[in-house]
Amino acid sequence: MAKIIGLVNQKGGVAKTTTASALAFGLAEEHGKRILLIDFDPQGNLTESTGIDVENWKSKKDESGKEKKMETFYWLMRDVPFNDVVLNVPGTKVDILPTGIILAGAEKELNSERVPHSKLRKAIDKIEKDYDYIIIDSSPNLANLTINVLCAVQEVIVPFKPEPLSLQILESLIDTVNEIKKEQMNSSLIIRGFLPTICRSNTISTKEVIEIFKRAAEEEGTKVYNAKIRQSVDASDAPANAHSLFAYKKNSKVAQDYRFFIQEFLKEEKK
């Protein structure tokens, strides 16, 4: 059965999507793992980053005969079969459930569900045996879609930019995770670790923020990863036909940083 991991941070601009992609393609391309990526952010940045041509997405006709693109929303909210939605990233062991802005409509629809927080978990139950890891990129908030992610995954990895503003999100995220466990919405949920990203330099401020995160993490029985992902244009300027950082600039410093992170990640798996 797959290990299900969510990349979560209610603050945007922390390389959450880049980290989801790097973890997925690093595990697949350099360690032979079978990976499913679920783009669960209506912005669809993860989908775009894979280089998939959206014009070639699978499509079906609706009741009026109009073609509609199959994406995560239809799998989650309209019970469209998984195989009608999932796409393979060509030349890789990575599959993806693509997403567009229509997923934003799920926020409102989930409010009418009898058990809104478990919708994603129930959908994943049907497919997790086909993969080694399912990696989910979430929205930069703590609304319905992200709560569904937190209730579906076994573990959360929290990318964070080591600056004072990041401290504001730390307590609320930990409180949300603990509330989900307390209410038995996902009693086995854990924060696997906090990953420093977009690190500009080894400044005193950066070190102080990381130390605060380390103390908070220790209190919650988790940690801050030793890996530090440096700020780099290589992580954001990949051409549309490059499906991952490792395919685009595999020898760049930021790719090396992510390799170190993945090594830490896999070392934990062996414990």
Calpha distance 155→253 (Å, rounded): 27
**CA distances in angstroms from 1 to 98, 121, 150, 153, 188, listed in the order given:** 22, 14, 18, 13, 16
Chain CA centroid to CA 152, Å: 12
What pLDDT is attached to residue 2? 96
Query: Quick one: fold of 3-269?
Result: Rossmann fold (3.40.50)
Calpha distance 71→38 (Å, rounded): 10
Interstrand relation of 155-160 and 133-138 (parallel, antiparallel or unpaired): unpaired
**CA distances in angstroms from 257 to 96, 175, 207, listed in the order given:** 24, 29, 17
Task: Show pLDDT as tens, one digit a residue, over the chain (271 residues).
Answer: 899 999 999 999 999 999 999 999 999 999 999 999 999 999 999 998 888 876 667 888 767 788 888 999 999 999 999 999 999 998 899 999 999 999 999 999 998 998 999 999 999 999 999 999 999 999 999 999 999 999 999 999 999 999 888 888 888 999 999 999 999 999 999 999 999 999 987 777 889 999 999 999 999 999 999 999 998 765 655 555 456 676 666 778 888 999 999 999 999 998 7
Query: pTM for this structure?
Result: 0.94
What pLDDT is attached to residue 193? 97
What pLDDT is attached to residue 243? 62
Which phi and psi angles does 255 have, rounded to 5°? -65, -40
Burial of 261 (0-12, 13-18, 19+ CB in 10 A): buried
What pLDDT is attached to residue 88? 92
Reported residue count of the chain is 271
Please name the amino acid found at residue 129: K
3-class DSSP state of 9: coil
What pLDDT is attached to residue 86? 95
Please name the amino acid found at residue 8: V
With CA atoms as reference, report the closest residue to 83 among 127, 39, 148, 119. 127
What pLDDT is attached to residue 122? 96
Please check whether residue 173 is in contact with residue 10, taking contact to mean a CB–CB distance below 8 angstroms. Answer: yes
Please name the amino acid found at residue 173: L
Burial 79-100 (b: 16+ CB within 10 A, else e): ebeeeebbbebeebbbbbbbbb
What pLDDT is attached to residue 250? 77
